[in-house]
Amino acid sequence: MSGDREHRESQVNCGSKGNDSHKHKDKHREHKHKDHKKDRGHERSKHNSEHKEHSEKKHKDKLKHSDGSDKHKDKEKRREDKVKLSHTDKPKKEKENGYVRHSSPGIKSEPEEDNGFHPVSKHKASKRELDDEEFDYKPKKVKTEHDKKEKKRKHEYEEEDEEEEDIKPKKTKDRSAKDGKKNKKEEEEKWKWSCWINWFMNTIASLPSDFSGILTNRRLQARLLVSASSILSRRWEEERYTDGSKWRFLEHKGPVFAPPYEPMPDKVKFFYDGKPMKLSAPAEEVATFFAKMLDHEYTTKDIFRKNFLKDWRKEMTPEEKSKITDLNKCGFSEMSSYFKAQSEARKQMTKEEKQKIKEENERILQEYGFCIMDKHKERIGNFRIEPPGLFRGRGDHPKMGMLKRRIRPQDIIINCSKDSKIPKPPTGTKWKEVRHDNKVTWLASWTENIQGSIKYIMLNPSSRIKGEKDWQKYETARRLKKCVDRIRNQYREDWKSKEMRIRQRAVALYFIDKLALRAGNEKEEGETADTVGCCSLRVEHIKLYPKMDEQEFVVEFDFLGKDSIRYYNKIPVEKRVFKNLQLFLENKQPEDDLFDRLNTSILNKHLQELMDGLTAKVFRTYNASITLQQQLKQLTCGDDSDPAKILSYNRANRAVAILCNHQRAPPKTFEKSMQNLQTKIDDKQSQLSTARKQLKSAKSDYKASHDEKSQKTVELKRKAVQRIEEQLMKLQMQATDREENKQIALGTSKLNYLDPRISVAWSKKYGIPIEKIYNKTQREKFAWAIDMAEKDFEF
DNA sequence: TGTTGCACTTAGCACCGTAGAG
DNA sequence: CTCTACGGTGCTAAGTGCAACA
């Protein structure tokens, strides 16, 4: 299994990308925006551009094949892919660290104007070319917003308080947990309360036995609870620190290390050049990493093999090193089959054995999987250190196959509070460092050897610290909603600017807004796969078509984005954008940057001026969430059955996933499972017709006899028909849903881009149990929203 | 003004347990 | 009761963005 999925269309072939040349941002310095010569496309359209942008769209469209028509001559890099998604336009955005502002509940403000589609103004295109001069050039307003000054980001935390403030310390009792309704503030409090009560109970339970003995008296417990709660609740209220600190108290047990290497049994041999050879333990361990991946396709890739051999040799003894020089002569097959047998054996284990393992895991989880942060027991996200192995980058990664070394205690930095119990390193070892930095949220970190980046152990998404951040993120996106029109107007103005850098910035922002592209930070060449985002797009990634089919000014995007997922899309843009793009392309080579006067920091600096806390990412969040909200409004019909409503929800979700280009490899078993489902549907259909017949005959029996028994039969049959109808419909819904979902991944947008309050409100409004749209993990992550949002919540 | 380091979010995939079909 | 498809989960790579530094 394995193997194939990676070749999903997205992959590029290793092409050369190498050309280092880029970076000549400066060289093109001279472009005067004025002369727009170029019009490569012939006809200087005299027509008014009517942009029909978004025309098609509809959550339907999605995938199609790429035709691959003209390729660039440039680097041979060609992607083989075949499939791609063509999105419709629709913007989306994302956000992220936002600082919260008021979370005022309602805020409806704009009705819905923005579904992301910009008005596509009807500006008549008037003149040809960049008619810039026509419009008066305004210095752009930039500064305008008042908001900017009022809130400095430092106050981020204080600001959130607005919401909290009304939460008065409230009455102790947990009573709040019950009686419902209360406004959101109270709801939120309830959430906190349950949290801390939890913590309290846990603490009591963990007290030394002599102490907890005293506490067995329930009355005493209750009293303690009350008085402690009044103290602590105040503290909880203060928890929004204003000095940038993230916590006051942090205690944990440190990470769990990967199990030590267990040498192969002697009977399992490694062969070199056909002859058995005993390897030293370190060399053998690395060999097993390779053996385990043998049937994965990247063990056949040259770079992978080359990197592997190089790193492997570093682990060898001098003798081994001198002997083993050619990977092709290495025989890993015995090792490989040994591992296969082992995993088979694991599957064959008895229930009891499996149960035992499960219990052991649970024990470790209980011991190491939680920490105490500011009086709350919180789940840790990844408390296990990554085991050693071979690095598998995504896409065409230059470092694939390198050895990811084993992490030892002396590589780990522990972070916790001074007054906590410091975690103990395994016997005989020491931590690299123990620090007490409450300006960060991580509990432990280490430096990874492939890219030299730092890895962290942090809390689970259900934790307060992640939840609040998430909430802030959506609040920032909601603030953007309030000023997005102004921002859009501004960047449209900027398309006419006299300065190249302003124009580039404006066009890039337009893409980010309309197409939900990622920002596109610069990456170090040769260190990672060659992928791009908006600001790092190169000339070779877009093609301009003055006219295509019925549409004018079409831009075709074809590039690899994050995780080497291909982004392919053809969209009509406004004439002015088109002309600007032509201008940006002048005198450039395919591997030159499209936006040579722009990078993410310039762009974000600009965005920051437009709205406090605004960055490129916020657009993705904003557009994703607003799209969901609109689609839900549009697709959900109150009279539908529950499965139909859920299908609508999934469709709305899907529209967002398409917007954000969240793809997945079609499940390997897709065709088959689809077929199975179809068989079921057919069966169900015939069942239904049988049931109907039976009902009919029961009815006529009843008519004839009018006895009680036959009446009952009629009822029974009627129910049966109804039940089967429902089942059938459910199956059909399922089939549709699955088909539409073939290569779209809904999870990412659901988890990261869609304000959960929209979903919660929807589920309340239509009486769909929240469990139908969020599984347990998701409900935990979104607990804040589930408590907070009512059915009238508006993003 | 560009570069680097750091912290934190976002991403797809592999694996595994289990519910439901047979 | 066994098999298998599916969803959930864990894992960890790959982004973003800020700030310190050069």
Strand order in the sheet with A413-415: A433-435, A413-415, A444-447, A454-457
Residue at minimum CA to C1' distance from nucleotide C9: A777
Encoded tokens for A586:
């002048």
Contact flag, residue A450 CB and nucleic strand C, below 7 A:
yes
CA distance A533 to A135: 31
Helical pair A500-515 and A618-635, crossing angle rounded to 10 deg? 40
Among candidate residues A565, A499, A791, the one with its CA nearest the CA of residue A7: A565
Residue A738 has a pLDDT of 75
A666 touches strand C (CB under 7 A): no
Find where tokens 């892919």 sit. Answer: A81
How far, in Å, is the CA of A149 from the C1' of nucleotide C3? 64
Q: Which nucleotides on chain C have any atom < 7 A from a protein Cβ?
A: 5-19
Residue A454, CB, strand B, below 7 Å = yes
Reference A59, options A568, A573, A737; nearest CA is A737
Q: Residue A513 burial (CB < 10 Å; 0-12/13-18/19+)?
A: buried
Nucleotide C4's nearest residue (CA vs C1') is A673
**CA torsion, ordered A533, A539, A545, A548, to nearest 10 deg:** -50
The closest nt to A451, taking CA to C1', is C13
3-state secondary structure of A205: helix
Asked if A254 and A425 touch (Cβ cutoff 8 Å), the reply is: yes
Q: Distance between CA atoms of A284 and A334, rounded to whole angstroms?
A: 13
Q: Is A753 among the catalytic positions?
A: yes
In the structure, how far is the CA atom of residue A453 from the C1' atom of nucleotide B7, in angstroms? 11
Mean pLDDT of chain A: 75
* Nucleotides, chain B, CB distance < 7 Å: 3-4, 6-17, 22
Which tokens hold the place of A257? 């290390």
Q: Which of A298, A338, A568, A753 is catalytic?
A: A753
- Confidence at residue A643, expressed as pLDDT on a 0 to 100 scale: 83
Please state whether strand C lies within 7 Å of residue A622 at its CB atom.
Answer: no
A675 touches strand C (CB under 7 A): no
Give me the CA A209–C1' B10 separation in Å, rounded: 44
CA of A495 to C1' of C10 (A): 46
Mark the ranges of chain A whose per-residue pLDDT is less than 50: 1-197, 200-201, 204-205, 207-223, 225-238
**CA(A454)–C1'(B9) in Å?**
15
Question: How far: A609 CA to C19 C1' (Å)?
Answer: 18
Scanning residues 122 through 181 of protein chain A, those with a beta carbon under 7 Å from any atom of strand C turn out to be: 153
